[in-house]
Amino acid sequence: MKTEKQPLPTLCEMETAVAKLWDVRRHVIVPNISWGMKLHECDLLILTKANYAIEVEIKRSKADLKKDVEKAHAHQSKRIKELWFAIPEQLKNCLDLIPEHAGIIIVKKRKLKSLKVEYRAVRKRLPVTNKEAIKLTEAEVSNLKRLGCMRIWSLKATILNLQQELQQIKEERILLEVS
C-alpha cells in the first residue's frame, strides 16, 4: 500500500507559523533580511524587548540543510544572541544536519474544524545562547523596524495585483457564460 507524500509547507506558511510562535505583538519580526543591517542574510530576524537579535533559518529540504553548512559566516555573529532552524516535520530525521548550537523548531500541519489547514511551530531543542552577543543600537533597531515596514508595501502591492488578476478572471468567466 502506497503512502501519500505530505506536501511541504510553503515558505510563507513556515514564516507565519514561526512568527506566531514568537508572537508579533511582543517582538519585532522581520522576514528576509538581506541588506541594511550589516549582517549575513537572515530568513527571519526577531528583535527581543531587550534589543537582542534572534535569527531563524528556514529550511524546507534536506539539500538546503546540507548547503547551509557551506556558508562562510556559519551563522556566527556578535549581533545574534540565538540561532534557530525551522524545518517541516517531514525533515525531522535530518536533525543531525543542524548545528549543535542552534535551536530547532518543527513546523507541523494541523487541520482545523473548518477543514482549513494551518501550520504550527513547536520548539524541539533550545539553542546555546551567544554570551558575547551585543544589543542592537537604537539606530539599528530603528533601521530594522524601517525594513519591516518596507515589507508591508511590497506585500500590499502583491495583494493588489492578485486581486486585480482575480477580478479579471471573474470578468472573463462572466463574458464566456454570456456568449
Q: In the block, which residue shows the cell 487541520?
A: 111
Residue 147: inside a domain, yes or no? no
How does residue 91 score in pLDDT terms, banded at 50, 70 and 90?
A: very high
> Is residue 35 very low, low, confident or very high in pLDDT (cuts 50, 70, 90)?
low
- Evaluate whether residue 66 is within a structural domain: yes
Cell of 64: 538546503
For the chain, the maximum distance between any two Cα atoms, rounded to a whole number of angstroms, is 70
Q: Residue 65's domain spans which residues? A: 11-135
CA 41 to CA 54: how far, in whole Å? 13
Please write the tens of the pLDDT for every residue from 42-76.
Answer: 899 999 999 999 999 999 999 999 887 766 455 57
pLDDT over threshold 60, residue 1 = no
Q: E strands, the chain, where?
A: 28-33, 42-47, 53-58, 80-88, 103-111, 117-125
d(Cα 158, Cα 123) in Å, to the nearest integer? 31
Looking at the 3D structure of the chain, how many domains does it have? 1
Q: Per-residue confidence at 29, pLDDT binned at 50, 70, 90?
A: very high
Greatest mean pLDDT among 59-63, 111-115, 171-175 lies in: 59-63
Q: What is the CATH number of the domain that holds 22?
A: 3.40.1350
pTM surpassing 0.75?
Answer: yes
